[in-house]
């Protein structure tokens, strides 16, 4: 269990008609309560959400080219109530949220019919 960290992974969206997405979930308390950053190749965007009682709420996002069948790097830095999201080494946005301040688990994330490959999960605690 960890609260303040920087986590990154490489991912490649390879298929999906509804979604071609990959992401990272943090402060994961259970299947209905967590934060998630995800990149979607069908929508060409990166979004940051809170999921509370199973309901997803967008906190922030940016439109950017997310190509299918290519490796991308997604990074999420969480320090107290500040979240910074980077994509392919470029910072996209930062935002604040206080919904989940406690420690939680970390998970890789996909949605709907996404078929996504992941590689090189890196987790760095912040002190």
pLDDT for position 1: 85
pLDDT tens-digit series, residues 21-34: 999 999 999 999 99
Domains contained in the chain, number: 1
What range does the domain containing 52 cover?
5-118
pLDDT band at 83 (very low <50, low <70, confident <90, very high): very high
User: Does residue 83 lie in a domain region?
Assistant: yes
For the domain that residue 41 is a member of, what is the CATH number?
2.60.120.560
Q: What does the chain look like in DSSP terms, one character per residue?
A: -BSSEEEEEEEEEEE-SS--EEEEEEEEEETTEEEEEEEETTTTEEEEEEEETTEEEEEEEEE----TTS-EEEEEEEETTEEEEEETTEEEEEEE--S--S-BEEEEE--TT-EEEEEEEEEEE--
Asked, for residue 123, whether it belongs to a domain, the answer is no
Please check whether residue 97 lies inside any domain of the structure.
yes
Q: In this structure, is residue 127 part of a structural domain?
A: no
pLDDT of residue 33: 97
In a domain, 126, yes or no: no
State pTM to two decimals. 0.95
pLDDT in tens, 41-75: 999 999 999 999 999 999 999 999 999 999 999 99
Does residue 127 register a pLDDT over 80? no
């Amino acid at each position: 269990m960890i609260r303040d960290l920087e986590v990154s992974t490489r991912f490649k969206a390879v298929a999906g008609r509804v979604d071609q997405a990959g992401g990272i979930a943090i402060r994961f308390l259970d299947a209905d309560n967590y934060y998630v950053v995800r990149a979607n190749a069908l929508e060409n965007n990166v979004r940051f959400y809170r999921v509370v009682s199973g309901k997803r709420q967008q906190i922030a996002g940016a439109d950017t080219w997310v190509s299918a069948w290519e490796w991308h790097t997604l990074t999420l830095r969480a320090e107290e109530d500040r979240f910074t999201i980077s994509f392919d080494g470029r910072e996209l946005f930062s935002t604040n949220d206080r919904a989940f301040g406690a420690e939680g688990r970390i998970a890789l994330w996909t949605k709907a019919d996404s078929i996504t490959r992941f590689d090189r999960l890196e987790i760095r605690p912040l002190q």
